Structure 1
Amino acid sequence: MNLIYTGKTKDVYRLNDGNIKLKFKDDVTGEDGTFDPGANTVGLTIEGAGKSGLKMTKYFFEKLHEKNIPTHYIKADMDDVSMTVKDAEMFGNGLEVICRYRAVGSFYRRYGAYCEEGQPLDSFVEVTIKDDERGDPPISKDALDALHILKREEYAQLEKLTKEISEIIKNELEKKGLSLYDIKLEFGRDKETEKIMLIDEISGGNMRVYDQNGNYVEPLRLEKMLFD
């Protein structure tokens, strides 16, 4: 296999059969030693974070497979802390799609003059461009179309899939008495079928989750609460 990309939280390899291997790391995004799923830099290294993220990712991707939702997932290897996935074509240099159930994080920092922190939101979908240098700026449906990154009809499909996937994850967490405040997803095109599919991972590092007392649940604790 050949290393094709070194990421903040995963390294990406191309396998001889054309599929992709994602090797999970113990690095998590954040700033000044504090975890933040929306940050553009590695903030800290947490022992076991990679395996924890893979365990959650495997669980949720298999749930989505049961519901016939298109994803890049093929299989996971817990011993190797890696996941084999289909090759995907990115939208531009990559998009992040956030589904927001509560006003927290960057949403609250931007719009705090108009809302209270933690205020309920109706599964609001927001798209940002993956661009560390420019701080992953939000982008509108019309701008995506004008820049030939995503067509309007594809945006509608992306929004529908995001809400559907996020609701499934939200419901799974609620079974454990946990509340999903927001989640960051990524999508790409299947290179064989050209269909839009969910890519990357679904783990504690991609979401903000709170317990019944309103306390934030950190990624490793989230994994333990989900599977205990």
Structure 2
Amino acid sequence: MSRRRMIYEGKAKILYEGPEPGTLIQYFKDDATAFNAEKKAVLDGKGVLNNRISEFIMTRLGAVGIPNHFIKRINMREQLIRKVEIIPLEVIVRNVAAGTMSKRLGIAEGETLPRAIVEFCYKKDELGDPLVSEEHIAAFGWASPQELDDIISLALRINDFMSGLFAAVGIRLVDFKLEFGRHFEGDMVRTILADEISPDSCRLWDLVTNEKLDKDRFRRDLGGVTEAYAEVARRLGIIKESAQGGEVVDFSSAGK
């Protein structure tokens, strides 16, 4: 990695220049952050699990016609992705009241919403990624009307697919965050899914017990963060179990 040119470093990932024009290498770190990076930790193996889970989901979304930046997984921590111009919005899809929605609206956590709700936050760390409306997006030109239509349509399609995917393995998709980018193909520009989809960016609860299998375990000091991520990977069939019932996942070569 020392010979590569770093393009960008975020809280949980690093982007490097890719081997071909129009590509990047996305590296998943073990760093965990919460509350706009006020809380930090390093959780061994988290980046490996997020890389594998995001690969699994992006691949399946691509197979059902959801355009995204994923090309292939290179190794335990890295993916080859398409270079995009990130639209400065976090797109949150909510199926169940939780987190900031429960606090803002006084809705009990765990209450199923009347329908899936799409919210937008302006990507600006120093402002705490504030909630914004479609009016703000249009007025400040963060996305065009067509891009916004595409984003909402894609977000709801992703929600339908992922809700079924997780329900099939006994997991409730409570809410999740998406990012989108502009992918330039000659004179054409296409809105595609970017970033990652993993327990870092989703709230995932066990369907029966409501046990949290996501980043809320870190936010709320519940412990067992990587174990919960590994359980998600196991249920999705990413991590195999040995004959003795243990999980077969090799972190020893994770940084190679």
Please identify the structure whose Cα radius of gyration is greater.
Answer: 2
Could you list the runs of 5+ residues in structure 2 that have no partner in the other structure? Answer: 215-228, 241-256
Instruction: State whether structure 2 residue 162 is matched by structure 1 residue 169.
Output: yes
1:166 is displaced (CA, Å) by: 1.8
1:16 is displaced (CA, Å) by: 4.2
Q: Tell me the SS of whatever aligns to 1:69.
A: coil
> Aligned runs of 1:123-134 on 2, under 5 Å?
123-134=116-127
Other-structure match for 1:214: 210
> Aligned runs of 1:1-228 on 2, under 5 Å?
1-18=4-21, 19-30=23-34, 39-41=35-37, 43-79=40-76, 81-91=77-87, 94-112=88-106, 115-121=107-113, 122-192=115-185, 193-211=188-206, 212-218=208-214, 219-227=229-237
**TM-score, normalised via structure 1 length:** 0.89
Q: Is the 8 A contact 1:126 1:138 kept in 2?
A: yes
Could you list the runs of 5+ residues in structure 1 that have no partner in the other structure? Answer: 31-38
Q: Is the 8 A contact 1:204 1:220 kept in 2?
A: no
Q: Deviations over 1:163-200 (max 9, x none)?
A: 10122111111111110100111101102231100001
Q: After the TM superposition, which parts of structure 1 deviate over 6 Å for at least 4 consecutive aligned residues?
A: none
1:74 is displaced (CA, Å) by: 0.7
Change (3 A) 1:182 1:217: same
**Superposition CA RMSD, Å:** 1.4
Q: Tell me the SS of whatever aligns to 1:195.
A: strand
Q: Is the 8 A contact 2:8 2:15 kept in 1?
A: yes
Q: Which deviates further from its counterpart, 184-193 or 196-205?
A: 184-193
1:156 is displaced (CA, Å) by: 1.7
- The amino acid of 1:225's aligned partner reads R
